[in-house]
Chain A
């Protein structure tokens, strides 16, 4: 579809630009400022150049946290994207079943993140939690406070429980926006369910799935409250993700300069990867349409 060329369209974008720029630009510049200075107190600042960046980039524990973060976000995307699409395809198209499914999908998304961690903390307790007691009753020893692999399983379960509904909701809305005429045409041609999915539903969902993928990538890469409450980054450091480590640097060592440099590197990693995802998803399947 060719777009109209008209720079007056900027007037439609201007309100959005102003409202976002108000909260975005000054704090970002301030953080850049912090990252280049050594701050001893109000009025006592020394320009240190890229010193903090060098220090942060050579931090071993940051490298480990980064690796963990990549594994975590990768698993999140690999599990949640297909599962969300499958659920959206299974959901009824109309009637009370559709309404009920939509409301139930929304429930986990509406709980504040710190509360999610707290609820899962008790939900997985072996003595008084349903999940913990249930899995022990099956004869599997399970303790997310002692075993790193159990901690990971718990975190992944919580994450998949919490966020797959987001993918499903977006995919469902995308599916409902496909005109019925496409399915009628496919039925006349005798297309299989798989062919309908591959050649009609999936390409038509590309827009919403791009958003779902980017959202899930960004938010899982920035995850903080849930693992912080549930495992506190432990046992040991095995679930210390980037955000948790960042807060340790910023608050624990009370060092604004390195923490700011860390934030900027963190931000740039997400920016770069999101841009790559975006470019790939924009161009995938362009030739077919």
Chain B
């Protein structure tokens, strides 16, 4: 038991080192970072954070990202839940092919696909809107959500569905009041993954936006200038990109940890 905890602690220390380094740099000025090696910020400064919080071109990036990522997570979960149920419970024409086809949408190398993507979204007049990025990110998040949820749903015995239908539950009522609570951990993990993949995706988000929906990841590339990178500012922005997602996982952690409560049915 002791050995296991020790191993875990060592792993987490290693995992946190690069993030600590980013935190360390975010509290120092760029000149300080480049001139001396220091394990901790000797001349503590919040300058980098202040710049992000007071400059609209910086903080609007966070707002834009949060809007389209939330939209995407809601759309992905809402469409993937019923679909995953269909895949886990029913046999229908083309089910296997459909299931695998969904995943193939994660497999295309983005570079060449960006141009037709831009053309498609200009044709429907959605360029530089949050919904455009949310929809484009559905391309890889919806398949992922279906796959993860299907796995969790298949772990629930079908007898539960049968009993509920015999007891007179309609499908929507059974699905929302009995079934979804049963796979809470799966829904929590899925929500987190949708949030995460949409949050860190840069190429589609950058291609489909110009100003009013520009994501934070694209704005961060601005810190590259003629004089090199502003490491302090970049690190502060990096630390701040972690915060929303960390909050999401904090909220879903109980759903992940509680798992499968068979006794409830």
Contacts and interface: CB of A to CB of B under 8 A. Distances in A.
Interface of A: 1-10, 12-13, 15-17, 19-20, 22-24, 26-28, 30-31, 34, 86-87, 90-91, 93-94, 98-99, 101-115, 118-120, 122-123, 127-131, 133, 161, 165, 169-170, 172-174, 176-181, 204, 207-208, 210-211, 214-215, 218-219, 222, 224-225, 242-243, 246-247, 250-251, 256, 259-260, 262-263, 266-267, 270-271, 274-275, 278
Contact of A104 (B16, B39, B86): B16
A176 B4 CA distance: 18
17 contacts: A12-B83, A24-B105, A26-B116, A26-B120, A27-B117, A30-B119, A106-B196, A110-B196, A110-B241, A112-B202, A112-B220, A118-B234, A177-B259, A177-B260, A211-B147, A246-B109, A259-B111
B85 to A, nearest CB: 6
A207 B19 contact: no
A17 B21 CA distance: 43
Contact of B200 (A2, A102, A109, A118): A109
B249 A106 contact: yes
Given A170-B189, A263-B108, 14 more contacts: A4-B89, A13-B92, A13-B98, A27-B117, A91-B8, A107-B15, A108-B18, A115-B241, A128-B37, A208-B151, A243-B109, A267-B109, A270-B107, A271-B104
Contacts of A19: 75, 79, 135, 138, 142
A225 B202 contact: yes
Given A103-B246, A118-B234, A275-B100, A123 B21 contact: yes
A19 B88 CA distance: 20
B73 interface: no
B79 A16 contact: yes
B189 A10 contact: no
A256 B111 CA distance: 11
A222 B112 CA distance: 13
For B15, B102, B185, which residue has the most chain A Cβ atoms within 10 angstroms? B15
A210 B151 contact: yes
A123 to B, nearest CB: 5
Contacts of A23: 105, 117, 120, 135-136, 138-139
A202 to B, nearest CB: 14
Given A6-B90, A31-B113, A179-B262, A20 B15 contact: no
Contacts of B36: 128
B221 A114 contact: yes
A218 B107 contact: yes
B68 interface: no
Contact of B242 (A27, A111, A263): A111
B113 to A, nearest CB: 5
Contacts of B105: 20, 23-24
B257 A93 contact: yes
Given A250-B111, A259-B111, A13 B87 contact: yes
B196 A1 contact: no
Contacts of A218: 106-107
Nearest to B250: A103
A162 to B, nearest CB: 9
Given A12-B83, A246-B109, A94 B144 contact: no
A106 B37 contact: no
Contacts of B89: 3-4, 9
A87 B8 contact: yes
Given A23-B120, A169-B189, A130 B17 contact: yes
B92 A177 contact: no
Contact of A204 (B11, B22, B155, B245): B155
A247 B158 CA distance: 48
Contacts of B139: 20, 23-24
A172 B112 contact: no
Sorted from nearest, which 9 A-B pairs have the closest CB atoms?
Answer: A207-B151, A176-B259, A9-B90, A112-B217, A30-B116, A110-B245, A12-B86, A27-B116, A9-B86
A161 B15 contact: yes
Contacts of A105: 15
A112 B15 contact: no
A242 B88 CA distance: 35
B74 interface: no
Contacts of A119: 18, 21-22, 235, 238
B256 interface: yes
Contact of B196 (A87, A109, A115, A120): A109
A27 B103 contact: no
A101 to B, nearest CB: 7
B199 interface: yes
A118 B142 contact: no
A4 B119 CA distance: 42
Contact of B91 (A3, A12, A107, A207): A3
A262 to B, nearest CB: 8
